[in-house]
Amino acid sequence: MNSTPDSVPTDSKSSTLPLLLACGLAQMVVVIDYMAAAVALPRMAESFGVSADSLQWVITGYILSFSAVLGIAGPLGDRYGRKKLLLVGIVLFGGVSIWVGLANSATMVIIARIFLGIGGGLLFPLSTAVVSASATRENLPRTILILTGIGTIGMAIGPVVGGIFTEELSWRWVFFINLPIAVVAFIAVTNCANESRDPETKGGVDIAGILLLVSGLALLAVGIAGIPHWPTAAWLTMTLVSLACLIAFIFVELRVKVPIIDLRMLGNRTFAGYLVGGTLSNSCWCLLIFATTMYLQKVVKDDAMSTGFIFLFMSASVATASFIGPMVQRKLGTRRLLLVALVIQTLVCVAFWINHAQPWLSIALLCAGFGCAWGWSMSQAGGIMTLPPNKVGLAAGTMLTVMIMVGNLAVVVSATLIEALGGSADTINYEPGVSATYVFGIGIVVVGFIATLLIVPATAPVHTD
């Protein structure tokens, strides 16, 4: 199947709704896995005899590989075909999920999750790119909001899947269930999506950039996590080496033809503003999920099933916000809706910090979903709209790489706060670190609001050609 230079599919097989459903289902399996794994994390830790906060590497290792592949998935899709690589990602994600479920040690779970992140890293940006390539610039915010709504139905399903399977069967079934969902997603994408690519994409894969970025962020995460345990010289050295890797990464990216993250895009003021706002909004989302899970299961002593049902408050509002988002966006505009999202997240974090007992926790989760969903989708839509249509793969990959990697670092900071403020490792008190995490979240979204307000122009340009 051929593709046109502007990446519009060449046949009429796909219509908007079936395409959105197919790509939304592909994203949904990743969201289900992330939410279910977060809920199952304490039980996984118990089964391997380690602390729940130390098993945050099940999430961190996954996110590092996920984010590394995010950066190259877009350019590779632009070159070799977005649909083709999306299908590869779905197959890999479904297959490796079985390996995670069969793992017999905490180390093996972490290793398998790293490989699972590779599949997810292909799947997430390419599903966005496949949909974006078929949408007009004017309809892109609406299209991404609907895609987010379909994908984040997994927000509703994931906690319940994690809770029920963990309590009634085993945490291993949290990963086994990915396979049948992946099969359905593969069939749907095969039949509903058209191939598209950017024939102007040239050059090799940015191996040096990938290695420097992953090394820098991994070492930074390890250095932060080591603060409560290591001598100052040890974690400080690790952190300085990580910063050296990241500085080298910047120099490399400014010189290669096809960078993993195109830093030249930051010369576009609007794109840069949306990237900063969306990154800090998503970091808040990651913090809320991780810290609240630790609070419910380690402070309140809820079981995994109860925790899953409590997260339905956030899941329901995320799905609702995604589906009513197009109407709200038409009235307010993309920039204003992102600012509203950041205000909602700020107020929610304040509410969590003041009182995270029931029923206030459930009410705050219900409100949080609106801010999290609009922050995620509006930042991507706003950023992508400022770039040429044939660059949707690179733009989606760049934005998702930064947003998710920084969100992962926010989780590492939260885990470190919990350890540092929790007292004895044998009888760790999770509540002080959870409260500190909510304060950290307040700071993040306030900075995100100010950055979006100051950087993104009130009337942002839209690329239509």
Note the pTM of the prediction, 2 decimals. 0.71
Cα dist. 393→24, 180, 223, 270, 292 in Å? 16, 27, 32, 18, 33
Whether pLDDT at 108 is above 70:
yes
Q: Where are the domains of the chain?
A: 16-206+256-455, 207-255
Among 89, 92, 94, 81, which residue's Cα sits nearest to residue 130?
81
Indicate whether 155 pLDDT > 50.
yes
CATH 3.40.50.1820 fits 16-206+256-455, yes or no: no
Over residues 367-396, the mean pLDDT reads 78
* Amino acid code (one letter) for 384: I
pLDDT confidence band for 66 (50 / 70 / 90): confident
Residue 425: DSSP 8-state? S
pLDDT over 90 for what percent of the chain? 6
Higher pLDDT: 287 or 459? It is 287
Rounded CA separation 305/308 (Å):
5
Per residue in 8-34, pLDDT (tens digit) is 443 334 456 777 777 777 777 777 777
Asked whether the beta carbons of 236 and 411 are under 8 A apart, the reply is: no
Task: With a cut of 60, say whether residue 217 has pLDDT above it.
Answer: yes
Rg of the chain over CA atoms, in angstroms?
21
Query: H/E/C letters for each residue in 254-267?
Result: CCCCCCCCCHHHHH
CB of 396 within 8 A of CB of 132? yes
Token output for 422: 């929790």
Most confident stretch, 104-108, 169-173, 369-373: 369-373
Could you tell me if 164 and 305 are in contact, meaning their C-beta atoms sit under 8 angstroms apart?
Answer: yes
Q: At what angle do helices 269-294 and 431-455 cross, to 10 degrees?
A: 170
What does the buried/exposed string (b/e) look like for 291-317 if buried means 16 or more CB atoms within 10 Å of the residue's CB? bbbbbbbbebebebbbbbbbbbbbbbb
| ∠ CA 291-342-62, rounded to 5° | 45
Question: Which has more pLDDT, 438 or 140?
Answer: 438
**Which of residues 75 and 88 earns the better pLDDT score?**
88
pLDDT at 465: 47
10 Å CB burial of residue 123 (0-12, 13-18, 19+) is buried
